[in-house]
A and B are shown apart, each in its own frame.
Chain A
Amino acid sequence: MNTAGVRAEAEIRARADGRGGTALPVLESRGPLALRRTRGSGAAAHVTLVGAMSGPHGGDHFTVRADVGPDARLRVGSAAATLALPGQHGGQARQDVRITVAAGGELHWLPEPLISVTGSELAVHTHVDLAPGARLVLREELVLGRTGEDPGRLTSRLTVRVDGRPVLDQELDCGPGAGGGWDGPAVLGGHRAVGQLVVCDPEFTEKPVEPGVPADGLAVLPLTGPAVLVGAVAADALELRGLLNRAPAFFTPGSPASA
């Protein structure tokens, strides 16, 4: 009997249907992860990730795959925030997200925040591989503890490649047992919500985005390659979303909202 935890997998394949829309030939989920096709708008298919149970708990291993084909458009959201919870048997939970987008494809990956609950231990790794000419808007929001609570241990790594070349590789490690100084003045400095928006667009090659600091706790950081990182730190999830929502207008007018 497996008492170590739950394994769950979910997979989405989005393909251009040849009539200007996007079909989903694969929309599979097993275990506590569930995928629902929700009403799309225009050419984009919309999918919502529903946590059929709360999770991941310690010991669980979730894998989510999304593959967007040439000229397909997909928007993925989640029904609610994800709670990283302590497991009955202890141990670390893992969540792997593997995203590929082909030339001419577009993915908006906009899940609700991940909340690290006291006593939990979760390692997340999001791998994104983009072909030249692919478009991406990816949001990641990490919240350290529910209101007034200390966080668990949370390690989150985000790796983005364009044409095989790394444009972003960042890991945040926080909570009990993380590297010293994680809550100090160089790393999080008492902020309890940290997030980022990664925007990749081949047009950035022609029209480079200027770096800037549009608000306190928010920075627009053009990366090496056709990509921009909008980074933010805030006191809580609400303030963080407010900051990140201010960002897109600076370089991709209406982009995340229009998909």
Chain B
Amino acid sequence: MSRAALLVLADGRFPAGGHAHSGGAEAAVHAGRITGAASLEDFCRGRLHTTGLVSAALAASAALGVDPAALDAAADARTPSPALRAAARKLGRQLLRAARATWPGVELDALARRFPKGAHQPVVLGVAARAAGLGPQDAAHCALYESVGGPATATVRLLGLDPFDATAVLARLAPEADRVAEAAVRAAHRVAEEGADALPAASAPLLELLAEAHAARTGRLFAS
């Protein structure tokens, strides 16, 4: 594995459009459910174990070379909110563009042909990790870090939360993220053997419900 390539892919400045999304944090702030560092931490912990775990398992499976189309269909079934499916495909399309320019290769080209409107972002992330010479564990960690890094950064902008406090939340969650990454990689190896049904399906009802209301709201700062 290449540690430097992992840093390039995981960097928030990687030009994949993630900064326009809050991972549901804006809707949760609007609903009065995130009000400071403590509730942000609880929000992010919930994301880690639900959508974070699923994304990490999708990314790790794609990094192992599992058929992206099967993973993408499984991602659809695990994302009942049309607003979140649209956001995931948009992010996937943007990531694919950046990844093809960064690590050109046949697998990324094939993915672009198969999904002209974009595949789910974690699936693209896994194929991009593969193209960068990274493994399933790297892909899982990237997906998990994104699942909490986005909300933390967004909350700094939305609530004026102290950036030191937001970063401390991420640091406190790191050991838990490591454990979830291990679970995601174990699931990915099962997926490679048994198929996409072996993917975890952990759901977060409030994320799904609030995402639809958020998509319909005018004057929002983040797309999702």
Contacts and interface: CB of A to CB of B under 8 A. Distances in A.
Interface stretch (B132-140, B158-166, B184-192, B196-204): B196-204
B85 A194 contact: no
B55 interface: no
Contact of A231 (B43, B44, B80, B201): B80
A213 interface: yes
B81 A166 contact: no
Contacts of A211: 81-83, 212, 215
A224 B206 contact: no
B82 A188 contact: no
Interface stretch (A62-70, A98-106, A168-176): A168-176
A216 to B, nearest CB: 9
B80 A186 contact: no
Interface string A173-186: 10000111110111
Number of chain A interface residues as a range: 35 or more
Most chain B beta carbons < 10 A, residue from A166, A191, A218: A166
Contact of B202 (A168, A179, A194, A233): A179
A185 B46 contact: yes
A224 B83 contact: no
Nearest to A160: B77
Nearest to B199: A169
Interface in B49-65: 49-51, 53
Interface string A83-102: 00000000000000000000
Given A181-B48, A184-B43, A224-B76, A157 B213 contact: no
Contacts of A232: 209
Interface of A: 157, 159-160, 165-173, 178-182, 184-189, 191, 194, 211-213, 217-224, 229, 231-233
